[in-house]
């Protein structure tokens, strides 16, 4: 089938940079009523693989209570700004304007906005009123890959038309100081905010592509709905993390990706690399076990995790951008795990 060309990948980050030791100190303050819990959890900050992350609100915000109205207002304000920044960078790189874009696909799972974020971006980005819009909610961390696949499918269905894939997650805004569960505290060790934009097209617009997407797929394991996701609570979204995630990745991931590659007439040894969503250090270690890696095959993922934390769906796109920036080339499998419990997969050729 027709390959879909990637002509730009751009990220954007909010201004507040939170160092891991600062976050740990603030978490110890917020959960000071349970000092024994924080003593047990302290090592998680050092083992998370995160040095710093960006936030759309200052560190002090996390020490105060917040309800749905404030969270929704902050989400809409900062999500639209970050998406606009990433989209403008992508359009500048591809040398196109808003009126050239025929469709948008927008992924986010950390906040709600109606009208949807894509409609709020039409005028700021100069998109035409006839631009087709597909907002997607609920994919969680898998949204970076599954959303990219949906955008590629639209580009394939709209030959010679530009499709803009947008993704933003403001994970920090979901923090609830009233929740002293282990899952919520683990969230404070890894979560960050960010946005990404990718421009896709099937036909050659007159300049070489950065990469080509050839195929995509996904898999949801039965009976795993409680492994990862959000709970709707009175004051916001409550994070759901199961301790079984690394075990599921180690034991189940390889079989699924092997089946996907087989359907494309390929095997693992035909790949030049993997572009993965770094959910956390334990997940990266599980992926290394799963694929038998012994070197620095996941160095890009680790670098993004260290610099920006886990930005849910945005993270794998930041890894994609980093791989392109360092000149990686050849056939790569892009994967991300998310609620469901699911994995999204894309077969991507990075151009030298």
> Measured between alpha carbons, how far is residue 74 from residues 170, 171, 178, 231 in Å?
9, 12, 19, 20
Q: What angle do CA 192, 198, 200 make, to 5 degrees?
A: 160
* Residue in 17, 56, 141, 346 annotated catalytic: 141
| Contacts of residue 159, Cβ cutoff 8 Å, sequence gap at least 6 | 2, 202, 203
In this structure, what token pair is assigned to residue 343? Answer: 């994995």
* CA–CA dist 297, 88 (Å, integer): 31
Catalytic residue check, 167: no
Cα 84 to chain centroid, rounded: 17
Find out whether 295 and 234 touch, Cβ atoms under 8 Å: no
* CA–CA dist 125, 328 (Å, integer): 30
Residue with tokens 């409609």: 119
Which of the residues are catalytic? Answer: 141
């Amino acid at each position: 089938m027709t390959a879909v060309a990637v002509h730009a990948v751009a990220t954007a980050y909010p201004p507040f940079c939170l160092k891991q030791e600062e976050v740990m100190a603030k978490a110890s303050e917020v959960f000071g009523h349970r000092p024994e819990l924080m003593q047990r959890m302290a090592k998680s900050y050092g083992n998370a693989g995160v040095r710093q992350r960006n936030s759309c609100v200052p560190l002090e915000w996390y020490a105060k209570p917040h309800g749905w109205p404030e969270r929704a207002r902050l989400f809409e304000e900062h999500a639209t700004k970050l998406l606009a920044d990433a989209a403008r960078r992508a359009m500048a790189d591809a040398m196109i304007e808003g009126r050239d874009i025929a469709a948008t696909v927008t992924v986010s799972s950390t906040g709600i906005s109606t009208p949807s974020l894509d409609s709020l971006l039409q005028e700021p980005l100069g998109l035409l009123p006839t631009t087709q819009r597909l907002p997607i909610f609920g994919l969680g961390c898998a949204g970076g890959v599954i959303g990219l696949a949906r955008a590629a499918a639209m580009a394939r269905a709209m030959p010679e038309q530009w499709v803009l894939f947008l993704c933003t997650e403001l994970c920090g805004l979901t923090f609830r100081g009233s929740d002293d569960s282990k899952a919520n505290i683990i969230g404070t060790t890894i979560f960050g905010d960010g946005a990404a934009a990718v421009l896709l097209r099937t036909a050659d617009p007159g300049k070489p592509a950065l990469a080509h997407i050839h195929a995509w797929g996904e898999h949801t394991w039965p009976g795993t709905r409680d492994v990862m996701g959000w709970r709707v609570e009175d004051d916001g979204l409550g994070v759901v993390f199961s301790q079984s995630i690394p075990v599921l990745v180690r034991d189940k991931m390889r079989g699924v990706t092997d089946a996907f590659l087989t359907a494309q007439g390929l095997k693992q040894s035909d790949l030049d690399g993997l572009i993965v969503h770094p959910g956390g250090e334990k997940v990266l270690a599980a992926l290394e076990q799963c694929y038998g890696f012994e070197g620095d095959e996941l160095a890009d993922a680790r670098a993004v995790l260290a610099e920006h934390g886990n930005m849910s769906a945005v993270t794998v796109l930041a890894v994609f951008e980093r791989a392109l920036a360092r000149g990686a080339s050849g056939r790569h499998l892009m994967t991300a795990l998310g609620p469901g419990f699911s994995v999204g997969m894309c077969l991507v050729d990075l151009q030298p």
